[in-house]
């Protein structure tokens, strides 16, 4: 199982949790508990702040245009998650997975009847 977690961490550009990282990313206690359970430097969460939502909408448009230009029609959520995780800061944005982003898009579309 550790090989699977390490492969996921590497693939999605996430740092592992350790005491040094815990001091580098000062986050709320609830989120700190979650990141310890998940064993990542930052917890995996959908966009929860207004900054994260704004970042999401900027990035989703960019990746939708890329998918359209490539003739694929489907957004590459893994690539988007990699991009997202490189900019995660523990203040405005936390880590995401492709599944989190895909689910967030579906929820957003339902809410907005798209």
Tell me the DSSP string of the chain. -HHHHHHHHHHTT-PBP-HHHHHHS---HHHHHHHHHHTBSS-B----SHHHHHHHHHHHHHHHHHHHHTT--S--HHHHHHHHHHH--SSS--B--HHHHHHHHHHHHHHTT-
Query: Is residue 112 predicted with pLDDT exceeding 80?
Result: no
Report how far residue 84's alpha carbon sits from residue 57's, in angstroms, rounded to the nearest whole number. Answer: 12
What average pLDDT score do residues 16-26 get?
A: 87
Return the domain boundaries, the chain.
Answer: 2-111
Q: 77-87 and 50-69 helices cross at what angle (nearest 10)?
A: 140
Report how far residue 81's alpha carbon sits from residue 9's, in angstroms, rounded to the nearest whole number. Answer: 11
Residue with tokens 């489907």: 74
What digits encode the pLDDT tens for the residues 22-67?
888 888 888 889 998 888 999 999 998 999 999 998 999 899 899 9
Query: Is residue 79 predicted with pLDDT exceeding 80?
Result: yes
Tell how far CA 47 is from the center of its chain. Answer: 8
């Amino acid at each position: 199982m550790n090989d699977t977690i390490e492969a996921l961490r590497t693939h999605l550009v996430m740092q592992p949790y350790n005491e040094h990282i815990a001091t580098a990313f000062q986050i709320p206690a609830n989120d700190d508990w979650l990141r310890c359970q998940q064993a990542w430097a930052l917890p995996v969460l959908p966009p929860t702040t207004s900054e994260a939502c704004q970042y999401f909408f900027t990035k989703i448009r960019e990746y939708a245009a890329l998918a359209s230009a490539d003739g694929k029609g489907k957004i590459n959520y893994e690539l988007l998650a990699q991009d997202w995780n490189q900019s995660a800061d523990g203040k405005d944005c936390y880590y995401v997975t492709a599944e989190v982003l895909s689910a967030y898009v579906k929820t957003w579309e339902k809410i907005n009847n798209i």
